[in-house]
Chains A and B, each alone.
Chain A
Amino acid sequence: MKRFLLLLAVLALAVTACAPAATPTPAVTREVVVTRVEVTREVEKPKATVRLSGWAANPQETALLESLLYRCSLKNPDVVVKYEPITGDYWAKIKTLVASGEEPDIYYMDIFQFPFFVSKGVLVPLDDYMAKSGVKKEDFIKTLIDAFTGPDGKVYGIPKDFNTLALFYNKDLFAQAGIPEPNENWTWDDLKNAARKLSDPAKGIYGLGVPADPGRFPIFVFQNGGRIMTPDFKDTLLDSPEVIEAAKFYTSFRAEKIGAIPADVGVDWQGTGFGQGKLAMVFEGGWLIPYLREQFPNLKWGATFPPKGPKGRGNLIFTVAYVISKNSKNPEAAWKTIECLTSEESQTVVLSTGFALPSRAKLTEHEYFKTHPESLVIFKGAEFGTPFMWGLRGDVVNEQMGKALERIYLEGQDVEASFKQAAEEVRKALKEQQ
């Protein structure tokens, strides 16, 4: 009997699997009949199949994408989307897939990797599709859609979500130190003074997390009016006075024992150190919020904008877009899918789940932000942010920036000499690019 029930369930699943999405199982037999009717009717019309790939983040995000795809299948009944998540090293996989012409029609594109793909002409420009279906560039946050615009002025990716950095702070440690909590008008001096008062190296508590991380340090460069690369990405500015000054400020925290790298407090990632109360302040993105909620539910924390530097605000934007492959046999169907996934309706769903910040500018007024002010801080960070992207050899720029900081931290090298060395290495790599 048990086996028979199991068989029935498997059969029901097999039939429902042909429908756009699996239906809940309890009323099994009835569902089977309904979906079967639907399927036979659909056979008349030829359906366009498109494949979609992204990295497999966490189960919740996968479920979110699948629910969006289900909504889209109702909206575009003539398009069948096959979701093929890639586990492991996404970029190695997707690059070899592109090389063999086997890549999916739609795939995730990180801004950091975008320059290489666009320079090789493996992506479809989307302007015509956008015009046809009335999707305007202005609908999206400007810095995001501009980031996915190629050197020819055409849009090659529709941003799906993004993150920026916020200053996360431990409310209890601020209360203990008897100093006011950070606010959006803070300056570099405020940051340093607070770090000084919050630190207690004897207890293993440090004011600010200052990792040798190329995904954190550049905000200080931007706040100091500097840049990492020249606007054409043909040369680096890692040895410019603005960068060196920012690096001196950034590394002074650890030198004065009022800042620490993750290893100093025995963790792999400073988010853990923050959760454990060993780092009073850290610069992290929205990913820290669900982590703290799950791992450190009792921690009292807040988040605000990174402080203003001598030249005002600066932030980093991490963003991912949907792109269409040049090899796609159904670019129209692929576009319809992207259009639906990034529609205001879908993006509102994304926002209310709290997993990611959607890319549509209009959503800044959404009521979700009224109850989640820390997410609004990260959302608004895009206004004065710079995309996390350093051109065709972004990997080398990142690596050298990280090493410059490591040399200062681990080998006591002079800041200026270390960043000059990094700039030399980057230039060498740019020259070797053939």
Chain B
Amino acid sequence: MEVKKKQKWNMRRNWPLHILILPAVIVALFFQYAPMGGLIMAFQDYKPWLGFFQSEWIGFEHFHTIMQTDHARRVILNTLIISVLKLIFGLIVPIAIALLLNEVYHNVFKRTVQTVIYLPYFLSWVILGGILLDLLSPEGGLFNQFIGIFGVEPIFFLGDNTWFVPTVIITDLWKETGFNTIVFLAAITAVNPNLYEAAHIDGANRWKQTLYITLPAMMPIIIVVGTLSLGNILNAGFDQIFNLYNPLVYKTGDIIDTYVYRRALIDGDFSFGTAVGLFKSVISFFLIVLGYRLAYKYANWRIF
């Protein structure tokens, strides 16, 4: 009797909570969950005029095609190469810069450098792409003019399969380093100064202190950033690649997302594009979950 009464009261008191959550649920149903349902078209020969319900079912045919298409396999490989390189450099470079910034005792200088290297993070890849196209142009772009001083012939960085991937990695660092540097720097600032004092008395020099105090103190956040980026292994950076690439570099620079875009929305091959996208989403799902679990296990980090 007592329990029943309490439950009833709870229901009456909580109905506004359901009302408040409802609009967000409806929007998510339409724009997040309905597209998940739309993934069934990966198993169909989808025709826009027939829709999801009338189009012919063809099972795993598109997936067989992916495995048999040279370029599709190439695209998966390109994606892995680019994203793994980004992951590695995207971790090492900001850690190194954060450690160097930590040795700066002049606060104005330190803050200025931080702020300046953080700038590109706030600009879109359309803007950065526009700037890079101009800067790296083989016809008198500033960078080619600069290396010309040393007698190097102009290089078509964005149109040459040898140079495209390194250019993508370096320009990605340009955009992202500032943000990650500040994240790592925050972890360094949290280190107890007494530890350094004690190490100093014990005769440890600055390098030893960095190695045995600062780096271990940064480990949890390094693990979090590293494991969470696992989920991005199949995201080689659509915005960046799309604004930098061109048909000349499809061999090394075409990635899953750009391939899906061209096959589906340019060529109109909706089902095939969706099949490639589904392949990506399923693997990414497991990687994201794995990343969260590792972050929790090794760094006690939880998103919610």
Whether A and B are associated in the same complex: the answer reads no
**A residues apposed to B, CB below 8 Å:** none
**B residues apposed to A, CB below 8 Å:** none
